[in-house]
Amino acid sequence: MMKNLQDTTTLHNGVKMPWFGLGVFKVEEGPELVNAVRTAIKLGYRSIDTAAIYENEEGVGQGIREGIAEAGISREDLFVTSKVWNADLGYESTISAYETSLAKLGLEYLDLYLIHWPVEDKYKEAWRALEGLYKEGKIKAIGVSNFQIHQLKKLMKDAEVKPMVNQVEYHPRLTQKELQSFCREQGIQLEAWSPLMQGQLLDQPLLKELADKYNKSIAQIILRWDLQNGVITIPKSTKEHRIAENASIFDFELTKEDMELIHGLNQDHRVGPDPDNFDF
């Protein structure tokens, strides 16, 4: 099981994806963003997750270039994800959105490209575009974000390529058990966004107790729980000490009992939009 920050899981098409990465949701363009990405790479992170709608792909690209140079690694050592936004979910418009993201990031290819939200009547065409880009070798892996079981089924009914990843809101208050077991059966890797529930769990009594027991922070307990559940996770931070702390979760293991206790916190509670009922 995961021993260090560079450990990977193998997606169903054979591509290796790191278990752990840096998310940059809501981090605006500017030195703080560039610095966060560069710092993460310097600290050993090998996965960076952004999206067109975050409007920060240029800064992420710059951070990647600086980070690669400083760490003395190559582009191939990194796993970079972006996502196509809802307004661009047509066949042609998805292809052009992909080209735009690449240009902003200053990259030749992406490791993973996701459909950001399951906009009814639009995501099938977008998926066809992703399949085309994938078959042409322009993307190493393709997937979706915020898809529920019924949406995955609908997508896969006509798909030639099965999604490799489904990135969803996932944390101890929203454990998504059914979705996870469906994805597991289908060979689709689950990935967590908002793993720390946007900070809302950082004073939860049980987690505090466990943090004391393992001599770790609450954030480290939650992130470790993700990994032991077989869920890829990409916590967001811009502060160097926090980026380092988040990644310092490979030197301990939660017991089966403690894993269950954390599972028991589930309330099917979302902090983000409901994938069955959003209007953007």
Residue 86 near residue 275 (C-beta atoms within 8 A): no
Question: How far is the CA of 141 from the CAs of 97, 111, 112, 255, in angstroms?
Answer: 16, 6, 5, 33
φ/ψ bin of 14: left (φ > 0), alpha (ψ from -120 to 50), beta (otherwise): left
Tell me if residue 134 is catalytic: no
Q: Which of 45, 54, 113, 123 is catalytic?
A: 54
Give dist(CA 97, CA 100) in Å, integer: 5
Paired with 23 in beta bridges are: 49, 236
Pick from 182, 216, 186: which is nearest to 202 by CA?
216
Residues with Cβ within 8 Å of 63's Cβ and at least 6 positions away in sequence, in order, are: 33, 34, 35, 36, 37, 38, 41, 48
What letter does residue 171 receive in the DSSP assignment? B
**What's the CA dihedral at 21, 26, 32, 33 to 10 degrees?**
50
Catalytic residues: 54
